[in-house]
Chain A
Amino acid sequence: MAKGDNGVRCFQGLLVLGNVIIGLCGIALTAECIFFVSDQQTLYPLLEATNNDDIYGAAWIGIFVGFALFNLAVLGIVGVIKSNRAMLLAYIILMLITYAFETASCITAATHRDFFTRNLFLKQMLEKYQNPEPLNNDDKWMSEGVTRTWDRLMLQHECCGVNGPSDWQNYMSKFRNINSDSEFPWPRQCCVMNVQGIPVNLDGCKLGVSGYYNDKGCYELIAGPMDRHAWGVAWFGFAILCWTFWVLLCTMFYWSRIEY
């Protein structure tokens, strides 16, 4: 490309810059998805029990896509600088495959976020919390996970049920099957605890006397982190793909203009 060298150099510079940004975004995507997969709030058992844990699948894809984007960005930068057709063709094809995977990850995360309604977690809590008769080993594993997670949530965040203690009164549940209503109108974890982890006033808690039981629901504490997880994977991935789209189109144009 002898003619218009300045224009070519400028175009190459833009492509290099585009790939640098893709590389940096790839690293950021990997780091973000590792953070989500590490499940700091330990809410995964709740999703696992709903058979609706695809946002974690999307995050796993995001980890590998981010890493691939970084490596391909390096390949792209070298290919553009050297104007090597073989390298750039490999870059374009591999980038398209990575693009497809990231598209799947974004759509999966955005789609499955819509499932996280109050009723989903309410039904699951009533069905699996302290379930005394799991159907099989799989159900036993899920019930134990749900019980452990809810116990920790209610104690740590001083909340009760999905919408409040009334959940345990308004609905039948596995918990109710093994606990009498007068002794356990709601789980003990709904009681206000002292520093030793003992209810401050057990009778007051059982009777619903204000100040001795936790009256707020736990839904916001579950949905908040999950929404952030899903939106983070979906929309950050979407932003990267928007940028990558233009870089790829420009690279395809550049490749077609490289002389043998």
Chain B
Amino acid sequence: MQALAVLTFCAFFGGTKMADFNISSVSGVLSPALAESLLMAVPPCQFTGANASIHIIHPNGTTDVRHFTVPLCRGRRELVSVVDSTGGFTVTRLDAYQITRLTPGHTYTISYSVFNKDRSVSKSNSIAMGTLNRVDYRSIPADMSRSGGMVVITVLLSIAMFVLVAGLIAMLAITRCK
């Protein structure tokens, strides 16, 4: 049963070959998925300095391969190199790979390949991430609802105005009768 579960897990995450390492999305940012870019965690620390490729499978089936060098491990290691140098010391806030030039509202399948020093290739699992969908601003509804205060003001002041005009006419009429 356990073997079956493991096999099912592997099949789900990238075919019959088991992944050498896992990749994931990030935390601590507004959103790992923007409309035209995605933020992916870099391969784990054991691959530091190695040449790596990120494989991006587009919805139409084409594959885009981009190459980079796995960055050094520095303390807390998550996404994109955002280095904070205030206070006299350097803290790496984020270590990640930003995939740019994507299309809004599409889902991409992403995986890594790392070329080890012993010439072997380590592959990651594949994960699917979707870019945010961009809505046309012209479709934003101009919602507006009447407040009770507006109705009260309009009704009461209209009645008051009518009463005053009627009072003026009555006043003049009474004087004329006298």
The chain A residues found within 8 Å of chain B, CB to CB, are 92-93, 96, 99-100, 103, 106-107, 110-111, 113-115, 117, 119-120, 122-123, 126-127, 165-166, 169-173, 176, 180-182, 185, 200-201, 203-204, 207-213, 215, 234-235, 238, 241-242, 245, 248-249, 252-253, 255-256
Q: CA of A252 to CA of B165 in the docked complex: distance in angstroms?
A: 11
- Chain B residues contacting A234 (CB-CB under 8 Å) are 149, 153
Known: A120-B142, A209-B94, A212-B82. A169 touches B164 (CB 8 A): no
User: A-facing mask of B156-170, CB < 8 A → 1, else 0?
Assistant: 111011011101100
- Residues B157 and A207 in contact, CB atoms below 8 Å apart: no
Interface string of B67-85 (1 = CB under 8 A from A): 0000000000001111110
B98 interface residue, CB < 8 Å from A? yes
Contact (Cβ within 8 A) B31 A169: yes
Q: Cβ of B140 and Cβ of A114 under 8 Å apart?
A: no
Q: Map CB proximity to A onto B26-56 as digits: 1 under 8 Å, 0 otherwise.
A: 0011110011110100000000000000000
Question: Distance (Å) between the CB of A191 and the closest chain B CB?
Answer: 12
Residues of A within 8 A of B96 (CB): 207
**Inside 8 A of A99's CB, which chain B residues have their CB?**
160-161, 164
Is B171 in contact with chain A by the CB < 8 A criterion?
Answer: yes
A-B contact pairs, 18 of them (CB 8 A): A107-B150, A107-B157, A110-B149, A110-B154, A111-B154, A113-B150, A114-B145, A169-B31, A181-B35, A182-B37, A201-B93, A207-B39, A207-B96, A209-B93, A209-B94, A210-B28, A211-B93, A213-B30
Interface residue ranges, B against A (CB under 8 Å): 28-31, 34-37, 39, 79-84, 86, 93-94, 96, 98, 100-101, 132-138, 140-147, 149-150, 153-154, 156-158, 160-161, 163-165, 167-168, 171, 174-175
- In angstroms, Cα B147 to Cα A83, docked, is 44
| A255 lies within 8 A of B93 (CB) | no
Nearest 4 CB-CB pairings of A with B: A208-B30, A181-B36, A126-B137, A182-B100
Q: A171-B135, A209-B80 known; 10 other A-B pairs, CB under 8 Å?
A: A117-B142, A117-B143, A119-B141, A123-B140, A169-B31, A181-B37, A203-B82, A210-B29, A241-B160, A242-B160
**Distance (whole angstroms) from the CB of A134 to the closest CB of chain B:** 16
Q: Could you tell me if A215 and B161 are in contact, using CB atoms closer than 8 angstroms?
A: no
Main secondary structure of the interface of A (DSSP, over half): helix
Q: Kindly list chain B residues whose C-beta atoms are within 8 Å of the C-beta of A209.
A: 28-29, 80, 82, 93-94
Q: Which residues of A contact B167 (CB under 8 A)?
A: 248-249, 252
Tell me the complex Cα distance, A93–B37, Å. Answer: 69
CB neighbours of A165 from chain B (8 A): 30
How far, in whole Å, are A107 and B161 apart by their CA atoms in the complex?
13
Contact A172 B174, beta carbon cutoff 8 Å: no
Q: How far is the CA of A127 from the CA of B100 in the complex (A)?
A: 25
Docked-complex contact B135 and A170, CB < 8 angstroms: yes
Q: Which residues of A contact B147 (CB under 8 A)?
A: 110, 113-114
Given the known A-B contacts A169-B34, A204-B82, are A182 and B98 also in contact in the complex, defined by CB atoms under 8 Å?
A: yes
Q: Which residues of B contact A235 (CB under 8 A)?
A: 149, 153
Chain B residue at smallest Cβ distance from A210: B28
State whether B140 touches A119 (Cβ < 8 A). Answer: yes
Closest to A211 in B: B93
- Measured between alpha carbons, how far is A236 from B28 in the docked complex, in Å? 48
List of A residues within 8 angstroms of B163 by Cβ: 245, 249
Chain B residue nearest to A126 in the complex (CB): B137
The complex places the Cα of A213 from the Cα of B174 at a distance, in Å, of: 73
In the complex, are the beta carbons of A182 and B157 less than 8 A apart? no
Is the Cβ of B29 less than 8 Å from the Cβ of A110?
no
Which residue of A has the minimal Cβ distance to B31? A208
In the bound assembly, the distance between CA atoms of A114 and B153 in angstroms comes to: 13
A53 to chain B, nearest CB (A): 16
